[in-house]
């Protein structure tokens, strides 16, 4: 067997070791075993809120060491990448400090709670980019091979001129009134509910697959349960974010789209679906069948027309040339491996990365425009609702909002002073 080509390792500092921290750690451990020539990541250190828990996480996830303060990771000269997997209200302070220290940054989505926070991050990332420092947002669903293939088919004109899109993301973990309170239900920590947590994935996916951006929205949000049980037992805490949202959108080029997201849909554990209709055909993706892509072409003979299922496992399909033989399917976790691959390639080669922080700001602008539309009952324009750049974003300064919406609670100043506390959340 030929010797694998290895590139000097990049040392990872992970901040947060909950659900997302575990997913990212898996990717860093596996990526260089799959893709030849990738810079071998070194799991250097993990930061948590409590030293004992951080030590256990380091042992479980394969990190060399642990700390109880993320600032230690930022200050260390042997850390190349800061990977942020913490609650949303901590993103801004950690990312700003890491970029200022010359670290590459991978930050879980959503990028920030508010557009003001995201604008600060975009400006900081643009400055850091001039010195070869990268900043990427973790919208992992871009990296599913079937989604990447859908983008290729759209770009090739396989379904003609795009006309409309339907995007839906449903979960059920808050469907019962008895489900407990979580930091995700606090606007001061999360920014938004289903709108920011899962609808943000849909907004990014539609922009990525279609190469268009939403210019205006008409939306609504609902909170079905106004308070939930929390510690101490028997206590109640208010829910200050949405449980579900739905909105219509238009792009500058006229593309129409319908979005729906809910965390209160019984029986739907993690169902994300996307359908694109064009003048010559349609494409359908469903996360519950993530190795398949539905494709319909009007060019087929009427006697044999209908949706065909493409099994996206062939080496000719995106990301799959390094994996298993055709028909041997991949899973949800592999999207994070592909994300790690793309980030490492960009870090070593100096190429732009996507989605970058400007893409994260665009998503935040859509979220806030939908929230404003829900409060006013009127269509709202979206700041920066123009076509994305070739790399899925741009490194320039953020566009100023065309509509000044009422922001979610919290501002950039409070974010910069509050990030020291919640390092072990699911995000």
Is 90 exceeded by the pLDDT of residue 107?
Answer: yes
Per-residue pLDDT tens over the stretch 46-74: 999 999 999 999 999 999 999 999 999 99
Round the average pLDDT of the chain to a whole number and report it: 89
- 148 neighbors 139 (Cβ within 8 angstroms): no
pLDDT value of position 9 = 85
pTM score, two decimals?
0.89
The domain covering 143-335+356-375 belongs, at the CATH homologous superfamily level, to: Dihydrodipicolinate Reductase; domain 2 (3.30.360.10)
For the chain, what are the domain ranges? 143-335+356-375
Beta-carbon contacts of residue 80 (< 8 Å; ≥ 6 apart)? 10, 11, 12, 103, 104, 347
- Lookup result for tokens 């070739």: 390
Residue 413 to residues 16, 135, 295, 318, 388: CA-CA distances in angstroms?
22, 21, 48, 41, 29
pLDDT value of position 39 = 87
Per-residue pLDDT tens over the stretch 226-242: 999 987 777 899 999 99
Beta-carbon contacts of residue 19 (< 8 Å; ≥ 6 apart)? 426, 427
Q: How would residue 422 be classed by pLDDT, with cut points 50, 70 and 90?
A: very low
pLDDT value of position 8 = 64
3-state secondary structure of 11: strand
> Bridge-partner residues for 246, per DSSP?
220, 260
pLDDT value of position 386 = 67
Beta-carbon contacts of residue 404 (< 8 Å; ≥ 6 apart)? none
Is 50 exceeded by the pLDDT of residue 387?
Answer: yes
Per-residue pLDDT tens over the stretch 256-304: 999 999 999 999 999 999 999 999 999 999 999 999 999 999 999 999 8
Q: How would residue 38 be classed by pLDDT, with cut points 50, 70 and 90?
A: confident
Range 393-415 average pLDDT: 31
């Amino acid at each position: 067997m030929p010797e694998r080509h290895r590139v000097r390792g990049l040392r990872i500092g992970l901040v947060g070791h909950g659900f997302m921290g575990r997913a990212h750690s898996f990717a860093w451990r596996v990526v260089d075993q799959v893709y030849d020539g990738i810079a071998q990541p070194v799991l250097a250190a993990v930061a948590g809120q409590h030293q004992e828990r951080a030590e256990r996480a380091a042992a479980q996830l394969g990190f060399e060491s642990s700390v109880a303060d993320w600032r230690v990771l930022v200050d260390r000269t042997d850390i190349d990448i800061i990977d942020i997997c913490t609650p949303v209200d901590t993103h801004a302070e950690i990312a700003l400090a890491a970029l200022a220290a010359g670290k590459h940054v991978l930050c879980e989505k959503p990028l920030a709670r508010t557009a003001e926070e995201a604008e600060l991050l975009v400006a900081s990332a643009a400055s850091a980019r001039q010195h070869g420092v990268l900043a990427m947002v973790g919208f992992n669903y871009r990296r599913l091979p079937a989604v990447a293939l859908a983008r290729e088919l759209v770009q090739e004109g396989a379904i003609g001129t795009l006309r409309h899109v339907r995007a839906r993301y449903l979960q059920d973990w808050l469907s019962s009134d008895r489900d407990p309170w979580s930091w995700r239900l606090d606007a001061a920590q999360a920014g938004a509910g289903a709108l920011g947590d899962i609808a943000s994935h849909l907004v990014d996916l539609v922009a990525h697959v279609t190469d268009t951006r939403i210019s205006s929205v008409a939306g609504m949000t609902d909170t079905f349960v106004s308070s939930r049980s929390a510690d101490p037992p028997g206590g109640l805490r208010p829910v200050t974010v949405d449980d579900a949202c739905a909105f219509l959108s238009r792009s500058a080029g006229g593309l129409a789209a319908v979005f729906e997201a809910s965390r209160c849909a019984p029986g739907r554990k993690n169902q994300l679906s996307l359908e694109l209709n064009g003048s010559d055909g349609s494409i359908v993706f469903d996360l519950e069948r993530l190795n398949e892509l539905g494709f319909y072409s009007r060019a087929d003979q009427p006697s044999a027309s209908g949706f065909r299922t493409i099994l996206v496992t062939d080496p000719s399909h995106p990301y799959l040339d390094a994996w298993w033989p055709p028909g041997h399917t991949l899973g949800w976790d592999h999207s994070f491996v592909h994300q790690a691959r793309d980030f490492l390639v960009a870090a070593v080669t100096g190429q732009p990365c996507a989605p970058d922080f400007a893409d994260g700001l665009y998503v935040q602008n859509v979220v806030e425009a939908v929230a404003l539309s829900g409060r006013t009952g009127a269509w709202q324009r979206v700041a920066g609702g123009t076509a994305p750049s070739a790399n899925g974003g741009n490194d320039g300064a953020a566009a100023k909002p065309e509509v000044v919406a009422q922001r979610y609670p919290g501002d950039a100043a409070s974010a910069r002073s509050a990030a020291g506390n919640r390092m072990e959340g699911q995000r």
